[in-house]
Amino acid sequence: MAENLQIGDTVKLNSGGPIMTITEEPSGTNNICTCSWYEPHTAKFETCYFSASTLKKTKAI
């Protein structure tokens, strides 16, 4: 079951990866979240969409 996620929450994929920030409220029937993170290898901010069920809350470093 997906956690209650809100804008500003820090999350990671259940399978690992970078710490990301929820930047838009989860929406749609699949509870899709917009997440953003800084990618140091490209020196850019990235944004992608993930189902809330694939994310878990984490603490920012």
For the chain, which residues make up each domain, given as ranges? 10-57
Nearest to residue 33, comparing CAs of 58, 1, 55, 60? 55
Cβ burial of 10 (10 Å; 0-12, 13-18, 19+) is: middle
**Tokens of residue 33, six digits:** 């979240």
**What global pTM score does this model have?**
0.86
Tokens 């603490």 found at: 59
Long-range contacts of 19-28 (CB under 8 A, 24+ apart): 19/58, 19/60, 19/61, 23/47, 26/2, 26/52
pLDDT 10s digits, 13-53: 999 999 999 999 888 888 999 999 999 999 999 999 999 99
pLDDT of residue 1: 45
